[in-house]
Amino acid sequence: MLNRKKTQIAIILAVLAAICPAAERPREPVSIIPQPVSIEYDDGCFQIGPETHVIAENEAAMEASKLIDALAPAMGFKLALTNASQRRRGSITLELEKGPFKLGGEGYMLRITPRRILIRAKKPAGLFYGIQTLRQLLPEQIFSKTKAEGVKWKVLCVRITDYPRFGWRGLLVDPARHFIPKQDLMRFIDIMALHKFNSLQVHLTDDQGWRLEIKRYPKLTRTGAWMDFTTMRHGDEAKGAGDKRPGGFYSQDDIREIVKYAAEHYISILPEIEMPAHTGAAIISYPEIGLYPDKLSALPAEKRWNANERVLAPRPKTVEFMQNVLTEVMELFPNKYIHIGGDEANIGHWKNSEEMQAQKHQMGLKDEAELHSWFIRQMDSFLSRHGRRLVGWDEILQGGLAPGATVMSWRGQQGGITAANAGHDVVMAPTSHTYFDYYQGPSGKEPKAIGGNLPLEKVYGFEPIPRDIAAEKVGHVLGVQGQLWGEFISNTPHLEYMAYPRAAALAEIGWSPQASRDYKNFLTRLRCHLSRFDAVAVNYRKLD
Ligand code: ACM
């Protein structure tokens, strides 16, 4: 199989040598990441020039405008947009298929002949992904933000058929630990879109900061968005940060802008509002949702962040508070899914609380795990009543999984296996293969990270569907997500360093057929892909 592929590539390269002058020839026939389902090569090239028209109508015209805007800075000219009645040779046509289409809502066909380029899809998302592929077929200078002089904008004649393996292809960022300015988030979205990711989980709340304006509870950001100490480090005590209080938050207008920008890139923002733990910032802002409100308000400010062990008191009033927060979250985020965290709750603290013990007995709950489950179920039924779906980390399995819950499996894949076999949807996000806050090389040679070891090749070897999921249940695996927890990621260049190229590998796991997985081939394409990163100034980690 591999030999046949090699022979095919050798033949293609020989044919290309005959067609296109050497200087314009790519190193491989084409280097697309994630690898498309099928690529067939035809003779010749198509050259885009100032005279090339883009033909599209209605919804397709929206995508055409994005294509024109994406090409203009590097090409130094803006292609004209026309409608189908002015069909002409030498054009790029974007078409939405009205009849049956086998490639799904995100799939597309891309056909390039010496006369024209045609992208056809059922939905605008498919056109958008076809455009991402077309950008990668062009010389890498197309990614330059300024005019690239002397480049011939040639693309090889190909027939590409493409669609994703999974419908959930995500990354997570963590502005709670280190705030990420809005513009940086948008840049991150640009690079995600190039890799055909379609979901960005934003970890909006944690012990170190509450980053989302909630009108009903203004202290969440007035108090909770500004820390009294520098970010936590290994073993460090909370440090006083002097006059400079680090932090920040997204106003509701910021969020609307981010959500709209992401949607234009076919990326859904998945908001994560942590509960019942990782809630330190919420508790110092509103001590009444914590276990010992009176004790907390007696503490000096910097101590409050660590008090109450940052776990909510799951009393009915706290449920109401968090549901009120979720009401505003639902107004801001159109995503069907809302993430409520659910991880790493030190429920032992409920054992030590007389009030929580009394509540547990009164509710007839067996133990603290059932109290945890009861609390999560309150959120699940609330979100379901509003037509949304709850997502939580795999700890939400403890004490019984809420009926509508989707599980994000992070402590390995077992949580995902259990949930899928029980008929729940899951997203695979295990530390073993998708924690991009882990070291990607020998720890002595890398910038300080949280720990772990996750080199590129290991990411590429990830298989999101474990054998232990029953055949009829594998459809419950919605897809994959890579995590960029922010404890040790304090700025955007470092975020990009931790994300890429590992996220490029994960993009391929999420999109490309399992049968096409070939690490050597990926590395060859990646080398070409890195020059695209250079053109956009992505601060990726160099290959070993
Ligand atoms: C997690 O890493 N605590 C989900």
The sheet with strand 53-55 has its strands ordered as: 38-48, 153-162, 108-112, 116-121, 91-96, 53-55, 80-82
Prediction pTM value:
0.93
Query: 438: CA distance to ligand 1 center in Å?
Result: 13
d(Cα 113, Cα 414) in Å, to the nearest integer? 48
Task: Decide whether any atom of ligand 1 lies within 6 Å of the 435 Cβ.
Answer: no
452 lines ligand 1 (CB under 6 A): no
Q: Enter the tokens of residue 170.
A: 């995500």
Contact 29, 9 (CB under 8 A): yes
Quick one: pLDDT at residue 228?
61
| Catalytic residue of the set 53, 265, 278, 424 | 278
Two structure tokens written together for 490: 């304090």
**CA of 362 relative to ligand 1 center, distance in Å:** 31
> Widest CA span of the chain, in angstroms?
82
Q: Is there a contact between 113 and 106 (Cβ–Cβ < 8 Å)?
A: no
Residue 412 CB–ligand 1 contact under 6 Å: no
Q: Is CATH 3.30.379.10 what the domain over 2-162 is classified as, yes or no?
A: yes
The dihedral through the CA atoms of 437, 438, 441, 447 has a sign that is positive
CA dist., res. 163 & res. 73, Å (int)? 28
Residue 490 C-beta-side C-alpha neighbours within 13 Å: 12
The residue contributing the CA closest to ligand 1 atom 2 is 410
- 410 Cβ inside 6 Å of ligand 1: yes
Taking a C-beta distance cutoff of 8 angstroms, is the pair 236, 306 a contact? no
Q: Is the shortest distance between the CB of 533 and ligand 1 below 6 Å?
A: no
Q: Is the CB of 446 under 6 A from ligand 1?
A: no
Q: Which atom of ligand 1 has the smallest separation from the CA of 344?
A: 3
The answer, yes or no, to whether any atom of ligand 1 lies below 6 A from the CB of 24, is: no
Architecture of the structural domain at 168-536 = Alpha-Beta Barrel (3.20)
Q: What is the pLDDT of residue 410?
A: 98
Among 410, 426, 437, 454, residue to substitute to test ligand 1 (most atoms within 8 Å of Cβ): 410
Residue 394 CA to ligand 1 centre (angstroms)? 9
Closest ligand 1 atom to Cα of 483: 2
**CA 488 to centroid of ligand 1, rounded, Å:** 15
Cis ω for the linkage preceding 501 (within 30 of 0): yes
Atom of ligand 1 nearest to the CA of 408: 4
Tokens 């980390």 belong to which residue? 393
Annotation marks residue 457 as catalytic: no
Which residue reads 């250079």 in tokens? 534
Q: Which two tokens stand for residue 267?
A: 């990326």
Nearest residue (CA) to ligand 1, atom 3:
343
Q: Is 128 helix (H, G, I), strand (E, B) or coil?
A: helix
DSSP E strand stretches across 148-230 = 153-162, 168-173, 199-203, 205-206, 209-210
Report how far ligand 1's centroid is from the alpha carbon of 343 (Å): 6
Strand partners, 453: none
Q: 57 CB contacts (<8 Å, ≥6 apart)?
A: 83, 84
d(CA 292, CA 332): 32
Identity of the residue numbered 411: R
User: Which ligand 1 atom is at minimum distance from the Cα of 343?
Assistant: 3
The single-letter code of the amino acid at 314 is: P
- Cα 278 → chain centroid: 21
Contacts of 246 (CB under 8 A, 6+ apart): 178, 179, 226, 227, 230, 231
H or E element: which one contains 285? helix 280-285
Residue 240 DSSP SS3: strand
Task: Tell me the torsion sign for CA atoms 493, 495, 497, 499.
Answer: negative
Q: How far, in Å, from the CA of 274 to the mean position of ligand 1? A: 11
Return the residue matching tokens 């989302």: 212
CA 23 to chain CA mean position, Å: 36
393 lines ligand 1 (CB under 6 A): yes
Which ligand 1 atom is at minimum distance from the Cα of 341? 4
Asked if residue 204 lies in contact with residue 271, where contact means CB atoms within 8 angstroms, the answer is yes
Helix (H) or strand (E) holding 382, with range, is helix 368-385
The three-point CA angle 343-349-352 to 5° equals 160
CB of 411 closer than 6 A to ligand 1?
no
Neighbouring C-beta atoms of residue 138, cutoff 10 Å: 19
What is the spatial distance between Cα 429 and Cα 413, in angstroms, rounded to a whole number? 8
Amino acid at 67: L
List per-residue pLDDT tens for the chain, 544 residues long.
Answer: 344 554 455 555 444 444 444 444 444 589 999 999 999 999 999 999 999 999 999 999 999 999 999 999 999 999 999 987 776 779 999 999 999 999 999 999 999 999 999 999 999 999 999 999 999 999 999 999 999 999 999 999 999 999 999 999 999 999 999 999 999 999 999 999 999 999 999 999 998 899 999 999 999 999 999 876 555 454 443 444 444 567 899 999 999 999 999 999 999 999 999 999 999 999 989 999 999 988 877 776 666 666 556 799 999 999 999 999 999 999 999 999 999 999 999 999 999 999 999 999 999 999 999 999 999 999 999 999 999 999 999 999 999 999 999 999 999 999 999 999 999 999 999 999 999 999 999 989 999 999 999 999 999 999 999 999 999 999 999 999 999 999 899 899 999 999 999 999 999 999 999 999 999 999 999 999 999 999 999 999 999 9
Chain centroid to Cα 206, Å, comes to: 19
Active site residue 278: yes
Residues forming beta bridges with residue 435, ordered by sequence position:
483
Active site residue 344: yes
The CA R_g of the chain, rounded to the nearest whole Å, is 25
Give the 3-state secondary structure percentages of the chain, helix then strand then coil, rounded to 5: 40, 20, 40
Distance from C-alpha of 102 to C-alpha of 162, rounded to nearest angstrom: 10
Q: Report the DSSP beta bridge partners of residue 483.
A: 172, 435
Q: Do the two domains 2-162 and 168-536 of this chain adopt the same fold?
A: no
Q: How many angstroms is it from 157 CA to the middle of ligand 1?
A: 45
Domain boundaries, the chain: 2-162, 168-536
CA of 331 to the centre of ligand 1 (A): 26
Q: If DSSP codes are grouped into helix, strand and coil, which group holds residue 477?
A: strand
Q: Is 343 in the pocket of ligand 1 (CB under 6 A)?
A: yes
Residues in contact with 39: Cβ distance below 8 Å, sequence separation at least 6, in sequence order: 29, 30, 32, 158, 159, 160
CA of 174 to the centre of ligand 1 (A): 11
Q: Which of 57, 95, 344, 446 is catalytic?
A: 344
Which residue out of 206, 207, 328, 380 is catalytically annotated?
Answer: 206
